[in-house]
Amino acid sequence: MSVSILVILALNAWLPAQAHTSFRFNKFNACTLYQIENPSICSGAICLTNQSQQHMSSRALYTEPVRMKDPNSRNMSSSFSTTFVFTIVPLSSSPSHGGQGMAFIITPSKSSVGHSSAQFVGLFNIFSVGKPSNHLFAVEFDTTLNEEYQDINDNYVGMDLNGLTSVKVEPAGYRIGNQLHQIDLNSGHNIQAWIDYNHTQNQLNVTMVEAGSLRPKEPLISLNITNLSNIFEEEMYVGFSAATGTIVEDHCVLAWSFSTNGSVPELDLSHLPSLIMPKNSSSRLIAEITTPLALVLLLLVVAALFWWRRNKYRDDIDEWEMEYWPHRFKYKDLHIATKGFQDEQVLGCGGFGRVYKGVLPANGLEVAVKSIFKEANEALKEIIAEISSLGHLQHRNLVQIRGYCRRGAKLFIVYDYMQNGSLDKMIFDNSESVLAWVHRYRILRDVAAGLLYLHEGWEKMVVHRDIKSSNVLLDSELNGKLGDFGLARRYEHKGNLLTTRVVGTLGYIAPELVNTGKAAPSADVFSFGILMLEVACGRRPVDPSLDAFQIILIEWVRELYAKVRLMDAADPNLGGECVEHEMEKVLKLGLLCCNPKPEARPAMRQVLQIIEGEACLPSLDPYEMSGESSSLYPSTGVSFGSISRSLDGR
């Protein structure tokens, strides 16, 4: 596969909505969906409402927008299929109908239409219901009768477009032949539903059955619908909405899969919980419980408590760990530090797992605890060996690794806590203030100093391999510290560099890595150059929302430099409040570090000297900017080789 194709595939991952979306959640956690108002996690299920509050509404949406119109024809809706398992659990004292029900929704915005009301299944308020501007598609699973919206009963399924008067409505259930077998939505049992739309046939089908049963061949609702293209915008959010009235219920989604323009992934129903409340035992049943059975149960409870107390804070230490870094935390201490790894302690989520804020009980030190799950024992050995070695790194511009803890297949890495979070959040997600230039320049100097230490200042050479703004953390005084050594590799000084798989983050990866796979210090220099441009310009390395010639930050800055308009790249949010010669130096040095030829890039020692004013910035030759990198981002229509004007140091 060519370099161009590889990078096109990678660049597509940055697009806000893809032509094809497919996902599956067999259970949920706190980071799975975007939650509005009141959803909570219960036994791996998303509970949109609960039995503790009347007249409430909430939503849970897939975090990324989905392309709901054919990219080749914006007037044609995309086909989609979804299946999900849900349950509506009534208050045990009021099992009758009367709640407001729930709905699967496709909506153009994460926020609700107006201020949604529990009276309207959490979809609309009295002023917004029925308006064409809503652009909202919903399939209701309703447990209340509203005659004003022509509801047929208090246990039905209806398809809504922009309002609550369903264009098609049927009693809840499934069909076998001509016979309808009704399903009580309010029973508390798990129910599986399928919603399928074929845009070529303009056919929409809704099918449902009690979870675990075979899918009926005949849909409950089958409707030929031609106006979905008027409802759907190009990008939409998919998810669920629910509401309670005076009679409160739990509205929960236990599993969910979704796909556009393809088959929907099948759900694993083997481990779904049952949220139905058990009924109170009758006095007759209590009377029939014998004394021996009660004694056996008591003994089992005592034994279980003993085992739980003994193993709750058990540490797993294998013999092979003894050869590594001795600073190993007790699981009990990390459990106490993070308040039992509670959701409110979560600092962030990623593909590796979660990062928790904690306070060590022994000394009150604030730390960040990263959790990693690795099924393979050999992978754990490799990570612990690497972390134990990198734990000896000591530099004021590196986030200090304090130690680790292993519990089964879970690995916890303990770092110093940084009060001001990451650099990217400070620049891009800080609506209250703009990070001043004096802080930005100092942070770049700090990161350069830390990176120089990794390359030259320790007993081994360390290549970080993931330099980016989200891995630059800021302490209470906004000092920059380079963190996250999960991809770092150690080498002997002047030793052979090993070929590894290409890792890193799109927009920061040096072009030669795609071909060689060898992580050299010059690749870190390239990534640092991108970081310099990102900080100076206030722009991410790749931004598909911009015009084609501006999507790739490095190409845009090179083009401005060639046109003698380099200062036009400065972050407009700074309002001109920067030291002009420092801004110009950072932009030029960033271009120098991003030279497509690794041998033409400066070493980090020279980079730091230039930032600190101890060395002069060399001139840049535009012809040195051409090379393999000119094909790195072919979809933009702009290449490094297209810059023909002299880069003479102006």
| Percent of the chain's residues with pLDDT above 70 | 76
Same domain as 380, residue 504: no
Reported as a single tens digit per residue, the pLDDT across 544-560 is: 888 888 999 999 999 99
For the cut 60, the answer to whether the pLDDT of residue 629 exceeds it is no
Domain boundary among 221, 238, 260: 260
**Domain coverage including residue 20:** 16-260
Q: Domain for residue 309, yes or no?
A: no
| Tokens linked to 551 | 């999507």
Type of residue numbered 130: G
Q: Domain for residue 373, yes or no?
A: yes
Active-site residues: which are they? 466
CA 205 vs CA 17, 225, 269, 490, 641: distances in Å? 25, 10, 22, 57, 52
- Of the candidates 336, 408, 321, 326, the one whose C-alpha atom is nearest the C-alpha of residue 372 is 408
- Report CA Rg, the chain: 29
Same domain as 510, residue 379: no
- Of the candidates 317, 315, 475, 322, the one whose C-alpha atom is nearest the C-alpha of residue 400 is 475
Type of residue numbered 54: Q
Same domain as 560, residue 488: yes
Q: How far apart are CA 436 and CA 440, in angstroms?
A: 6
pLDDT, residue 628, reads 43
**The tokens 């729930």 sit on which residue?**
102
Same domain as 461, residue 373: no
Same domain as 521, residue 460: yes
Reported as a single tens digit per residue, the pLDDT across 420-444 is: 999 999 999 887 889 999 999 999 9
Same domain as 458, residue 383: no
User: What is the mean pLDDT of the segment spanning 47-70?
Assistant: 81
Same domain as 205, residue 142: yes
Q: Domain for residue 286, yes or no?
A: no
Same domain as 244, residue 185: yes
Same domain as 326, residue 214: no
Q: Domain for residue 6, yes or no?
A: no
- Would you say 155 and 66 are in contact if contact means Cβ atoms under 8 Å apart? no
pLDDT, residue 526, reads 96
Predicted TM-score (pTM) of the model is: 0.53
- Number of structural domains, the chain? 3
- Of the candidates 112, 101, 103, 169, the one whose C-alpha atom is nearest the C-alpha of residue 135 is 112
Please report, for the domain that includes residue 546, its CATH number.
1.10.510.10
pLDDT band at 650 (very low <50, low <70, confident <90, very high): very low
Q: How many helices (H) and strands (E) does the chain have?
A: 13, 27
Q: Domain for residue 389, yes or no?
A: yes
Task: Give the total residue count for the chain.
Answer: 650
Please report, for the domain that includes residue 161, its CATH number.
2.60.120.200
For 108, residues 6+ apart whose C-beta sits below 8 A from its C-beta are 135, 136, 233, 235, 236, 237
Same domain as 567, residue 494: yes
Please report, for the domain that includes residue 356, its CATH number.
3.30.200.20
**Parallel/antiparallel/unpaired status of strands 45-47 and 366-373:** unpaired
pLDDT, residue 135, reads 87
Q: Domain for residue 287, yes or no?
A: no
| Tokens linked to 427 | 């620049």
For the cut 50, the answer to whether the pLDDT of residue 54 exceeds it is yes
What one-character-per-residue DSSP string does 525-545 give?
Answer: HHHHHHHHHHHHHT--SB-TT
Reported as a single tens digit per residue, the pLDDT across 288-302 is: 556 677 777 888 887
| Tokens linked to 86 | 């849900």
Q: Domain for residue 67, yes or no?
A: yes
Same domain as 409, residue 432: no
Same domain as 448, residue 567: yes
Domain boundary among 416, 442, 471: 416
- Would you say 423 and 488 are in contact if contact means Cβ atoms under 8 Å apart? no
Q: Which carries the bigger pLDDT value, residue 587 or residue 19?
A: 587
Q: How far apart are CA 217 and CA 225, in angstroms?
A: 20
Q: Domain for residue 5, yes or no?
A: no
